[in-house]
Amino acid sequence: MVLASLASVRKYYSSTATLAVDGADFSIEAGEVHALVGENGAGKSTLARMLCGFETPDSGTIEVRGKPVRFYSHRDAERAGIGFVPQYSMLAAGLSAAENVAMGHEPARLGIFSDKRRAAYEFSMLADRYGFDVDPDAAISSLSAAARREVEILRAMARGGDVLVLDEPTSILGEHETKALFSLIGRLKAAGAGIVYISHRARELLDLADRISVMRYGKVEKTIRADEIDECGLADLIVTRGSCSTGPVNGGTPGAIAISIRGVSLAGRGEDSLDAVDLAVRSGEIVSVVALGGNGLDSLEEVAAGLVRPDVGDVMVLGKAIGDWKPQELRTRVMAYLPTDREGRGLCPRASVGSNVIARKLFRYTFAEFAIGDAPRTDAGAMLGKFGVGNWRRRRVDSMSGGNRQRVVAARELEGFSPLVIAANPAQGLDPAARAALFGRLSELRDQGAAILLLTSDPEDASDLADKVFALYRGRLRQLDSKSGDPSGLAAAITGAAS
């Protein structure tokens, strides 16, 4: 039975002269996972947003259980039984996790007053049912990026329905949370629900999906059965050129220490606390720290980037305490930083793409050059071109797909040479070609003498790129024997089985 379908849908954005979706056809059947793949900017998220009522197609039809519908808002889609987990957070940062999930459907006392206690109880029951561990009373602003994603998933599940659209759901989830999500998908599928799954991770697509549709230039070009193709074949379908990883290539002998984290402890963060962490990264090497969500990776990122001062220990950058650097000098001349929280820390979503990409170079322009000169636009075009970002003029960042937003961050931060690069989950949302380009640029910077600290929840990132691999479990750091991290040894280390 076909639960929902889109036929010949088209979406054109006149403000940016972008044809995002061009006559696409797509359907989701009961009891299946239908994966939607394609390069960044291929139209996947726009197609999903039309199905979920966030965008209205210019032409074409949407049907739910065989009946034509027209959604004017996402609430219309929710009432039709379609849930959505977006690629980037749409949660209210000032509200609690429970309040976000209950929003629009708040339980009431006496039919008048909002019942926060009942909302928290219902949230806890929902989280327990689906295998997530999130404090219902925690403010969204205090949660890690992975925990926020879990709240997004719970909000979609709380609405019921039999169609669930997941847009890059595992891009920042750890292994434990990912397994919980996969188990949930399996249960929903067995109950007859239809799952639309958008991702660039070929391995998980082949494990989960029944059908895979490939989008290119706004069209659905091909739909195949998942058992008809292997991992490299799928990667080549997505990007139309070879994209399978060949693993890390060591650039030479490391030099002097660029960043030293010495005896750092950070308390009061629950599972995300740090306990006596010692770590040094030398020029000319890539050091990766791999951890599941809730084991201190977010805290380590904040400490290494100078955003949080540790309770005990210190952080030295190029032989100088990180707090002694002037922020402008640190960020424009010393440290390139690709944060996990892309929208919160890495971008100004409502500003133009050009303004975002030249932000680190802003102080190098005179007032006249910035106001009326061509240099900023020329520089922006050159930087974005290196990461394949096109059609960027007169566009705000929040009009771009998540993968292209990540390319903007990478284009800005990896322009030129920085002695230290902190890359936290840098491949989130990237298609195989963009991921290969990013890792190629990081390797190039390593070979030029930069020190790269790679913080990731994806062990594959470490095996593809790192010279040294550390596992972080419950705030404690442990170095693995081999540079690529034996898969079984790494899995044991990040789950605590090896401790």
Per residue in 164-218, pLDDT (tens digit) is 999 888 876 766 777 878 888 888 898 898 999 998 888 888 999 999 999 988 9
Q: Could you tell me the CATH superfamily of domain 2-239?
A: P-loop containing nucleotide triphosphate hydrolases (3.40.50.300)
257-495 maps to which CATH number?
3.40.50.300
Percent of the chain with pLDDT strictly greater than 90: 50
For residue 143, what pLDDT is reported? 85
CB 442 within 8 Å of CB 286: yes
- Asked if the domains 2-239 and 257-495 are classified in one and the same CATH topology, the answer is yes
Q: Which two tokens stand for residue 68?
A: 């034509």
Identify the three-state secondary structure at position 467: coil
CB neighbours of residue 58 within 10 Å: 14
Q: Please name the residue ranges forming H helices in 414-479.
A: 432-447, 459-465
Angle at 433 between CA 429 and CA 437, to 5 degrees: 95
Q: Which helix (H) or strand (E) holds 182?
A: helix 175-190
Can you name the residues that pair with 167 across neighbouring β-strands? 198
Mean predicted confidence (pLDDT) in 91-115: 83
Looking at residue 484, its pLDDT comes to: 46
With beta carbons less than 8 A apart as the criterion, state whether 355 and 361 touch.
Answer: no
Supply the pTM of this predicted model: 0.68
How distant is the alpha carbon of residue 299 from its chain centre?
Answer: 17
Domain definitions of the chain by residue range: 2-239, 257-495
359-401 pLDDT, tens digit per residue, is 988 878 877 777 777 888 899 999 999 998 888 888 899 888 8
pLDDT of 96 over the 70 cut:
yes
Q: Which amino acid is at 281?
A: V
The burial class, CB within 10 Å (0-12 / 13-18 / 19+), for 210 is middle
At position 387, the amino acid (one-letter code) is F
Q: What is the mean pLDDT of residues 80-105?
A: 87
